[in-house]
């Protein structure tokens, strides 16, 4: 786990990629910026470009069709950068793992710094894990 905390201080920008998700993880991630969980209050924001992002979150099992786009997104990010597996599919515990299209998780494509477990992870858990990363904590292991 790279020490990004001292650099991030109290602001962290997140670029998210759906790599074959059922969209459950995206629904929960979208909720973190709403008025209930209000992630911006904690210095967290979701951005549209990888060039603006400190952290790449990825959901889904990382299908073969998405692997190349995911690598290009990662390359477009500046250094230092973190990669987070959002949800059990990206963590390699996908119910569709091993099917003709599904991959075996994010770890097969990119180096994973932290995992946010759950199917899907609840919004408050997503905020908690991202805040921990922002503070320089290791988060959940890859
Ligand atoms: S972890 Fe669950 S909610 Fe998230 S993409 Fe996989 S099946 Fe869907």
Domain ranges of the chain: 11-134
pLDDT tens string 29-51: 999 999 999 999 999 999 999 99
| Atom 5 of ligand 1: nearest residue by CA position | 21
Strand partners for 140: 115
Point out the ligand 1 atom lying closest to the alpha carbon of residue 21. 5
CB of 22 closer than 6 angstroms to any ligand 1 atom? yes
pLDDT in tens, 55-105: 999 999 999 899 999 999 999 999 999 999 999 999 999 887 878 888 889
pTM: 0.92
CATH topology of domain 11-134: Rossmann fold (3.40.50)
Q: Whose CA is nearest to atom 2 of ligand 1?
A: 119
| DSSP secondary structure letters along 51-107 | GG-SEEEEESS--HHHHHHHHHHHHHSPSS-EEEEESTIIIII-TTTTSSS--S-GG
Tokens of 3: 């020490």
For residue 7, report the distance from its CA to the centre of ligand 1, in Å: 31
Check: CB of residue 14 under 8 Å from CB of residue 54: yes
């Amino acid at each position: 786990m790279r020490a990004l905390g001292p650099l991030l201080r109290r602001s962290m920008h997140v670029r998210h990629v759906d790599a074959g998700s059922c969209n459950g993880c995206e629904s929960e991630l979208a909720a973190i910026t709403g008025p209930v969980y209000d992630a911006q209050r904690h210095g967290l924001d979701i951005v549209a470009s990888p060039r603006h992002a400190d952290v790449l979150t990825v959901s889904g099992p990382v299908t073969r069709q998405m692997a190349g786009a995911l690598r290009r997104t990662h390359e477009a990010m500046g250094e230092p950068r973190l990669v987070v597996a959002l949800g059990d599919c990206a963590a390699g515990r996908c119910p569709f793992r091993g099917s003709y299209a599904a991959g075996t998780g994010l770890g097969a494509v990119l180096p994973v710094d932290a995992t946010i477990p759950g199917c899907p992870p609840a919004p408050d858990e997503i905020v908690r894990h991202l805040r921990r990363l922002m503070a320089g904590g290791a988060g959940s292991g890859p």
